[in-house]
Structure 1
Amino acid sequence: MDHFLYRNGILHAEDVALPDIAASVGTPFYVYSAATLTRHYHLFTEALSPLPHMVCFAIKSLSNVAVLKLLGDLGAGMDVVSGGEYRRARAAGVPGDRIVFSGVGKTREEMRLALTGGIRQFNVESEPELRALSEVAVSLGVTAPITIRVNPDVDARTHEKIATGKKDNKFGIPIARAPEVYAEAASLPGIEVVGIDVHIGSQLTELEPFEQAYLKVADLTHRLRAEGHDIRRLDLGGGLGIPYTRSNEAPPLPTDYGALIKRTVGDLGCEVEIEPGRLISGNAGLLVAGVIYVKSGEGRDFLILDAAMNDLARPSMYGAHHDIVPVIEAPPGAPTRPFDVVGPVCETGDTFAKGRDLPLVAEGDLVAFRSAGAYGAVMASEYNSRPLVPEVLVKGDHFAVIRERPSFDEILNRDTIPAWL
């Protein structure tokens, strides 16, 4: 469910008509619904109740500080994968004891940043990282709380570029080697083992892979406790998918996911952490674009938009589908025809959809990409020297620009010409 609905034939974000935002900020732009973000966060907290738990939003899916503050004020923790994301979480007012630091390549500088600024735990992914963290913690005279990310060799049945739980992926340590790595962690100064971490991928549309992974984590918990480790926290990752098309069978609901967690690890007496990103932010955002031209080609028609692959990379990067709808609703029974929906970037890869049946639109009309809140603005670039698009947050009948579109002067002034040129 989201809060983007047609009213009197005009697509609205909550109570704000999208053409009003376009008139104010220009196109293209991202728009997020505060009501949808809030609702999706609460779906997870309710699904895990009454287990002791923390829902840590995966910042990599949508990192705008205003969005992080909205979720943080609701009680969300944050899952960060870089020093920059850590700084964003702290700038949003999220305390360090609600921030989990994940990622395979944490630098000593990032470790130092989190240890001095406050951290809930590091999700350690390798022995070299573990030893580096020990050295940094000792140098600061502090103790680093850790889980170790185990790789359960479970097929997440998702796109190969976002699967993270197979033995040939770069993430975590093989679960069979976990006891020896935990033994080393327990022997290192400056390290406190607090739990186990697992994350098998993103955009999962069925529960069985989660169940396979969590049952392995439950078995490992028993073994590690028998070997003397105080396993009191289970970080189960994220990855629950969203419906990107209105016609597809819906992925499992958070309530189903919560029931699975309770069934597989709920009797272990551990605090449960989960790290959803896409399911909280994905359907909470749209990308709104303007039609530049409607072009007739050889045997196909093109809808050329002012949004491009640098603004929304998922279709060109993953072959991902986004529903594309006109902002002014087509009347019932209006004709449609197939279009290749493309942007102005000078690459054939700048294609959002091929042969997509759409109502007839004209130059200057607006269209919206649904389910664009996750991995949209965060993956955008200034390729072709196109400015990053603005981000807008809506609450009820008002909206605010939460990231401005940079001017060309701002873009050009970041470059420096050497004196010898």
Structure 2
Amino acid sequence: MFISLLRYPLGCLLAVSLGVLAPLSQASPLGTHEYRQADAWPFGPLVTSGRDIKDTRNQTVVYAGANWPGHGEVMIPDGLTYQSIETVVTKMKSVGVNAVRLTYAIQMIDEIYDNGGDDITVRAAFIQALGEANGTARFAEFLQKNPIFDESTTRLQVYDAVAEECAKQEIYINLDNHMSQGAWCCNTRDGNSWFGDTYFNVDSWTRGLAYMADHGRSWRALTSMSLRNELRRPDNNPQLNEESYHWQDWYKYVRQGADAVNGANPGVLVVLSGLDFDTWLNPVVEGTALEPGSGLFDRADFAGYGADKLVLELHNYANNAANCDGLKRDLYAKGYRALHPEDPKTAEVFPVLLTEFGFAQATAWDSVYATCLAEMLAEERAGWFIWVLAGSYYIRSGIQDYEETWGLLNHDWSDWRSPDYIEQGFMPLVRDTVSP
């Protein structure tokens, strides 16, 4: 059944998605979808309860997973010229992974709208990103490794297949808008840094969030959506930097994004990231002024879902950390305090996910940084996604078939890059956070 659906014209498959802003789409029978999830995995929709994420059985859900990038120039999940979707998901499941942070670019949705509602084919996407010769060759490899697809397969249908396989193997999906452009992320001059930056059109962003949230209604594994990866200073735009890069505008725009997601798919958790590459969330957690104004974070501003659908995320790449206690104190002060209602400085209690951290697999897996984060995640029983699953990328920063030394998998995605880390570090981390 699934294979035949992949061969339908995209216009049929996306008829509901394209109506995301229409009243009929908003009235679609989510209750049926919720009931189906409530009595079977993922036992959703998930909700927050204080510092925890809970399912319909009142069981605590702790994400233990990896980032699977799909926001690059091809705009499909990486690795599929080397391995099948089933192989990659099975590989994750074999070491206990229960969640994946799946990334995408707003450009993909913009192109769908620009193309009259039709997505472009994967073949066209490879050629657009890699050139005629290399794109054609890589597409042939993609088909050879994934024979469920054909010449008419579109980018969104690849995401659908990933979601289907994740559901089959009971792996939660946190869908993350990583970039506006389909490109490698991130720096402060890439035009994707902040709301209103060169390529960061707020209307396109909220439209894209709503589109993917609505499209994801059919993904049984979709349990949460991150609004934006690594909000950061727009150094390429001095005026925007001076006038808008602050917590007050963060709050204005994040509420728009959260409303777009929840309005299109009330079932998913909404994940909020902080400033400076998502490294601190203090005003939200501590209830201090959202400067330069005097307003405060208020769950009531997220009408109808603020009490039980909001989650916070942090990133940390303090790879040169030499002192574990210092690293723990820094993370606690910048966001993990939200897990501790007993702390008098905690104004708002939230689940907190460490959605990015990582290191060179072969050389740094037993560093102070890597072992300290694993220790803290176990102590906090906090959800996490390591950067990164990918052993290579279709293209990164202009280099095709780019080697990723931080990848859990090797270059052709066939095996673990560092079996020692998987056995001595990664699998114990999964065990100690998910089933302490």
Sort the TM-score into its range (normalised by shorter chain). 0.3 to 0.5
Structure with more helix by fraction: 2
Structure with more strand by fraction: 1
TM-score when normalising by structure 1: 0.38
Q: Which has the larger radius of gyration?
A: 1
